[in-house]
Amino acid sequence: MVVGACRPSTAPTTTPVASNTTPPSPAPETEPRPQPVDVQSTGAADRPANDPEPCNPYIAPRERKAGGLTVHAPPDPDRRSFPGRIRNHVDGGLSHDSTRLWIGPQVPGFMPLVDGTKELFLLEHEGDVFVGLYRDPYGASSCDLSTPRNCDYSVQAFNACGDALWAFAIGPLMSRGDQLEVGDLRYADGVLYFNEGCQTFARDANGKCSALVAFDPTKGEVVWRTKNLISRGPFVVRGQYIVAGYGFTHEKDFLYIVRRSDGKVVGKHSLKRAHETLVIEGDTLVVTTNSDTHQFTMSGFDGPKPKLTPAR
């Protein structure tokens, strides 16, 4: 959905990260106001006179702050030695009294950095759609480190012109109100995928955690939910399938190939340790654990028989 006299730009389709708050309060007159920066200009030379100027989502203030989050344009580099068990685009503690620095893709200037007490945590980008995941810090309002209650999450989507497309809370979509956390979220072909990762050991939730969920944001409906213990941390989308993984200390560790059309598991591969990151490089899936790295050749992911073959 595009509104107004602008048209979405053909900006590079790198995966942006969400961040935004309500517009920052004007700086005192004695202080210089931050100037917007065109971090990733799309260029519009030789555009016909009757063609509206394209929207540029990469114009943003040099610095924005909201809650405990600081976002710079351009973003700060990711210097984390360990990304953590859940995929995110912030560096810093997850408690409300900690400070966090945005280290993900460029955040469009129109995206809010906060949603109530929730802060921008992850940014997805497909075509002209920007999707931000917001997470409540521990001790802010909905959750704390002393109980297994789920933290609140929400999602907001905008087009390249800054028009709101849809927004919803993830809590009502969860299968239970405790023992769960969002370990990753991806947006592909109009469908939102996220997992209900176990907060700790699966036994603490009686094994009822770490399902992968497909949600249609335009219809407001859950399309499917896999069985439990399929997806705990980062996962990746490739063709008609999702590669996810589950494992933890003193638990068996696996990679799973999940069919996007119906959530059925169509492949399973054991690992010595649970994965920490999954990255697709060409036709290779790179899997890192806390002790080593594995590579799998990906084939058949656009057909009925996807396959992960350990690289020699």
Q: What would the mean pLDDT of 220-240 be, rounded to a whole number?
A: 97
13-17, 72-76, 298-302: segment of lowest average pLDDT: 13-17
Residue 53: CB partners within 8 Å, gap ≥ 6? 6, 44, 47
The predicted model gives 32-43 an average pLDDT of 56
pLDDT at position 149 is 98
pLDDT of residue 41: 46
Q: How far is Cα 131 from Cα 218, in angstroms, rounded to an integer?
A: 13
Which comes out higher in pLDDT, residue 44 or 68? Answer: 68
Strand, helix or coil for residue 125: strand
Distance separating alpha carbons of residues 206 and 202, to the nearest angstrom? 6
- What is d(CA 282, CA 20) in angstroms, rounded to the nearest whole number? 32
- 91 or 25: which leads in pLDDT: 91
Tell me the pLDDT band of 21, cut-offs 50, 70 and 90.
Answer: very low
* pLDDT surpassing 90 at residue 3: no
What pLDDT, on a 0 to 100 scale, did the predictor assign at position 122?
98
So what's the pLDDT on residue 16? 33
Element (H, E) at 196: strand 191-198
Q: How far apart are CA 127 and CA 144, in angstroms?
A: 36
Q: Give the range among 35-39, 113-117, 216-220 with minimum mean pLDDT.
A: 35-39
What is the pLDDT averaged over residues 269-292?
93
Position 304 pLDDT exceeds 60: yes
**249 falls in which pLDDT band (50, 70, 90)?**
confident
Winning range, highest mean pLDDT, from 18-22, 28-32, 138-142:
138-142
Residue 108 has pLDDT above 60, yes or no: yes
Q: What is the pTM of this model?
A: 0.85
- Residue 312: the pLDDT is 73
Q: SS3 for 33?
A: coil
The set of residues, in sequence order, having a beta carbon less than 8 Å from that of 294 and lying 6+ positions away, is 271, 286, 287, 288, 310
- Show the tokens assigned to 154: 């929400």
Q: What percent of the chain has pLDDT over 70?
A: 84
Tens-digit pLDDT profile for residues 135-192:
999 999 999 999 999 999 999 999 999 999 999 999 999 999 999 999 999 999 999 9
87 band by pLDDT with thresholds 50, 70 and 90: very high
Beta strands in 29-152 (DSSP E): 36-38, 59-61, 63-66, 69-72, 90-91, 100-102, 114-115, 118-126, 129-135
Domains and their CATH numbers in the chain: 12-22+34-42+49-169 (no CATH), 180-312 (2.40.128.630)
| Distance (Å, whole) CA 285 – CA 278 | 7
Helix (H), strand (E) at residue 180: strand 180-181
Task: Tell me if 178 sits within 8 A of 115, measured CB to CB.
Answer: no
Average pLDDT over the chain reads: 87
Best CA proximity match to 223, nearest among 211, 205, 234: 211
